[in-house]
A and B are shown apart, each in its own frame.
Chain A
Amino acid sequence: MSTWLRNNQLALSAILAAVLVPVAIALVFFYAPVDEDGLNQKIFYFHVPIALTAYACFGWGAWKGLVHLWKGKPGADLESYVAIHIGVIFGAMTLLTGSLWAKFRWGHWWLWSERQLVLFLVLFLFYSAYFMLRYSVEPGPQRANLCAVYSLFGVVLIPISFLAIRLANQYIHPVAFNRHGPQMAGSQFFTFCVCLAAMLSLFAALYQFELAGKRLDARLRELRELLA
């Protein structure tokens, strides 16, 4: 990666998110057709990309945890923490937008019989507990190692959660993608792809933003100690 690109990651991801998010909203409401499911299907365009982005955040957090354990790269622990933090935010948004869709469609805010929902909740709670672990241990190499191992354990739940609906015998939760490809019209799929790109770019921007803040905080603490 070029030095220019590395130095401007935050600005680039923020510009990308600022362009893609409004474009995605415009496509959802002015381009994608309303199908037989009705207007509530519009929730799908943000709910599913947000859920996939949450998986990506947790996966990225686990990857950074692995990099920390494997190569001992300085900063990998902080990067893992920030990715998981944003993943939990996206996870909460997934649960809330999904509940709103379910209330209208199924008449229930939540269904415990749905494996997909329960597994996502387990994944969300697992990564929420990450913060309890992190803040119950003194900062240092031990905390970094523990958090890295924890983030790696959680990533095992991602494919299970992702495939749960396909393993389930009874489907209630709709399947938008199966082995034959996307089960939607071309315009809907295009809108979905733009929404996914928008959410991933939003994650990238928030990730760089929070990381920059955390690094600045750490450097200031260092400076304060030097000047004290």
Chain B
Amino acid sequence: MTTEEKYVAAAYLVVFAFVLVYFLIMALKLARLEREVGELAELARKRADG
């Protein structure tokens, strides 16, 4: 791989890495929201049962 090719690959990898990290953060957030929905559903069920 020439130096020029390395720089081009690095530039595209930067973009790919940023998007990937963004999705990772959003996935973690979604997992937290899913957990919270579960907790709230449990709370609502307990309320309904009296």
Contact A103 B14 (CB under 8 A): no
Which residues of the partner chain B approach A46 to less than 8 Å between Cβ atoms?
Answer: 11-12, 15
User: Is the interface on chain A under 10, 10 to 19, 20 to 34, or 35 or more residues?
Assistant: 20 to 34
* CB contact under 8 A between A100 and B7, given known A210-B26, A213-B26, A220-B36: yes
For B11-47 the 0/1 string (1 means CB < 8 A from A) is 1101100110010001001100100110010011001
> Which of B11, B15, B40 has the largest count of A CB atoms less than 10 A from its CB?
B11
Q: Does A209 contact B (CB under 8 A)?
A: yes
Contact B10 A100 (CB under 8 A): yes
Number of interface residues of B (CB under 8 A): 24
Name the prevailing secondary structure of the A interface residues: helix
A-B pair number, CB within 8 angstroms? 61
Contact A39 B15 (CB under 8 A): no
Which residues of the partner chain A approach B30 to less than 8 Å between Cβ atoms?
Answer: 213
Contact A89 B7 (CB under 8 A): no
Q: Does B49 contact A (CB under 8 A)?
A: no
Which A206-228 residues have C-beta < 8 A from chain B? 206, 209-210, 213, 216-217, 220, 223-224, 227
* CB contact under 8 A between A47 and B33, given known A202-B19, A227-B44: no
Contact A103 B7 (CB under 8 A): yes
Contact A100 B36 (CB under 8 A): no
Q: Can you identify 5 A-B contacts, CB atoms within 8 angstroms? A: A42-B8, A50-B15, A104-B3, A213-B33, A224-B36
Chain B residues packing against A (C-beta within 8 Å): 2-5, 7-8, 10-12, 14-15, 18-19, 22, 26, 29-30, 33, 36-37, 40, 43-44, 47
Chain A residues packing against B (C-beta within 8 Å): 25, 38-40, 42-43, 46-47, 50, 89, 92-93, 96-97, 100-101, 103-104, 202, 206, 209-210, 213, 216-217, 220, 223-224, 227
